[in-house]
Amino acid sequence: MENQNKLKMSIMGRVYMAYAMRRVFRSSTIRAVLSVGSLTSIFSFVSVLNVIKNMTSITNPEMLYNFSISALSNTETVVQLSVVILFAAVLWFARDLIRLSLLSNRIRALTSFGG
Protein backbone atom coordinates (compact mmCIF):
# COMPACT_ATOMS: atom_id res chain seq x y z
CA MET A 1 0.00 0.00 0.00
CA GLU A 2 2.81 2.38 0.89
CA ASN A 3 4.53 1.49 -2.37
CA GLN A 4 1.41 2.44 -4.34
CA ASN A 5 1.23 5.82 -2.59
CA LYS A 6 4.90 6.52 -3.35
CA LEU A 7 4.34 5.55 -6.98
CA LYS A 8 1.23 7.72 -7.18
CA MET A 9 3.07 10.70 -5.66
CA SER A 10 5.99 10.20 -8.04
CA ILE A 11 3.74 10.05 -11.09
CA MET A 12 1.65 13.04 -10.02
CA GLY A 13 4.82 15.00 -9.27
CA ARG A 14 5.99 14.39 -12.82
CA VAL A 15 2.59 15.38 -14.21
CA TYR A 16 2.62 18.62 -12.21
CA MET A 17 6.19 19.35 -13.31
CA ALA A 18 5.32 18.76 -16.97
CA TYR A 19 2.30 21.04 -16.62
CA ALA A 20 4.36 23.77 -14.95
CA MET A 21 7.10 23.54 -17.58
CA ARG A 22 4.53 23.74 -20.37
CA ARG A 23 3.02 26.86 -18.78
CA VAL A 24 6.40 28.51 -18.29
CA PHE A 25 7.64 27.82 -21.80
CA ARG A 26 4.46 28.85 -23.62
CA SER A 27 5.10 31.41 -26.34
CA SER A 28 2.97 34.03 -24.59
CA THR A 29 4.97 33.67 -21.36
CA ILE A 30 8.29 33.93 -23.17
CA ARG A 31 7.03 36.89 -25.19
CA ALA A 32 5.87 38.68 -22.04
CA VAL A 33 9.18 38.09 -20.26
CA LEU A 34 11.11 39.34 -23.30
CA SER A 35 8.91 42.44 -23.60
CA VAL A 36 9.00 43.38 -19.92
CA GLY A 37 12.71 42.61 -19.63
CA SER A 38 13.66 44.68 -22.65
CA LEU A 39 11.45 47.59 -21.56
CA THR A 40 12.97 47.47 -18.09
CA SER A 41 16.43 47.50 -19.62
CA ILE A 42 15.59 50.42 -21.90
CA PHE A 43 14.07 52.47 -19.08
CA SER A 44 17.01 51.78 -16.80
CA PHE A 45 19.66 52.85 -19.35
CA VAL A 46 17.83 55.62 -21.24
CA SER A 47 16.41 58.87 -19.95
CA VAL A 48 13.08 58.56 -21.72
CA LEU A 49 11.94 62.02 -20.59
CA ASN A 50 14.97 63.60 -22.31
CA VAL A 51 14.28 61.62 -25.48
CA ILE A 52 10.67 62.82 -25.50
CA LYS A 53 11.83 66.39 -24.84
CA ASN A 54 14.24 66.19 -27.78
CA MET A 55 11.55 64.71 -30.03
CA THR A 56 9.27 67.73 -29.55
CA SER A 57 11.46 69.75 -31.91
CA ILE A 58 10.89 67.29 -34.78
CA THR A 59 8.71 68.70 -37.51
CA ASN A 60 8.69 66.10 -40.31
CA PRO A 61 9.05 62.33 -40.78
CA GLU A 62 12.56 62.62 -42.25
CA MET A 63 13.78 64.36 -39.09
CA LEU A 64 12.12 61.65 -36.97
CA TYR A 65 13.91 58.96 -38.97
CA ASN A 66 17.28 60.74 -38.66
CA PHE A 67 16.73 61.30 -34.93
CA SER A 68 15.82 57.64 -34.37
CA ILE A 69 18.81 56.31 -36.32
CA SER A 70 21.17 58.72 -34.58
CA ALA A 71 19.77 57.86 -31.13
CA LEU A 72 20.05 54.11 -31.73
CA SER A 73 23.51 54.22 -33.27
CA ASN A 74 24.94 56.42 -30.50
CA THR A 75 23.63 54.42 -27.56
CA GLU A 76 25.04 51.47 -25.64
CA THR A 77 24.95 47.96 -27.06
CA VAL A 78 22.65 46.81 -24.24
CA VAL A 79 20.04 49.36 -25.26
CA GLN A 80 20.35 48.44 -28.93
CA LEU A 81 19.91 44.77 -28.08
CA SER A 82 16.93 45.59 -25.86
CA VAL A 83 15.25 47.54 -28.66
CA VAL A 84 15.81 44.64 -31.09
CA ILE A 85 14.38 42.13 -28.58
CA LEU A 86 11.36 44.36 -27.91
CA PHE A 87 10.77 44.80 -31.64
CA ALA A 88 11.01 41.02 -32.18
CA ALA A 89 8.55 40.34 -29.32
CA VAL A 90 6.08 42.87 -30.75
CA LEU A 91 6.37 41.29 -34.22
CA TRP A 92 5.87 37.84 -32.67
CA PHE A 93 2.76 39.09 -30.87
CA ALA A 94 1.42 40.69 -34.07
CA ARG A 95 1.99 37.44 -36.00
CA ASP A 96 0.04 35.48 -33.38
CA LEU A 97 -2.81 38.01 -33.48
CA ILE A 98 -2.98 37.79 -37.29
CA ARG A 99 -2.99 33.97 -37.14
CA LEU A 100 -5.72 34.02 -34.51
CA SER A 101 -7.77 36.45 -36.58
CA LEU A 102 -7.41 34.34 -39.72
CA LEU A 103 -8.29 31.18 -37.82
CA SER A 104 -11.40 32.74 -36.28
CA ASN A 105 -12.47 33.99 -39.73
CA ARG A 106 -12.08 30.46 -41.15
CA ILE A 107 -14.06 28.96 -38.29
CA ARG A 108 -16.77 31.60 -38.70
CA ALA A 109 -16.93 30.92 -42.46
CA LEU A 110 -17.13 27.17 -41.92
CA THR A 111 -19.86 27.41 -39.29
CA SER A 112 -21.95 29.85 -41.34
CA PHE A 113 -21.55 27.67 -44.46
CA GLY A 114 -22.77 24.57 -42.66
CA GLY A 115 -25.70 26.21 -40.93
Does 115 score more than 60 pLDDT?
no
What is the pLDDT, as a whole number, of residue 79? 92
Helix, strand or coil, per DSSP, at residue 38: helix
Q: Of 48, 49, 68, which is closest to residue 58 (Cα–Cα)?
A: 68
pTM of the model: 0.64
Q: Which sign, positive or negative, has the C-alpha torsion 97, 102, 105, 110?
A: negative
Q: Rounded CA gap, 65 and 105, in Å?
A: 36
Confidence label for 114 from pLDDT (cuts 50, 70 and 90): low
Does 6 score more than 90 pLDDT?
no
Mean predicted confidence (pLDDT) in 53-81: 89
Mean predicted confidence (pLDDT) in 73-97: 91
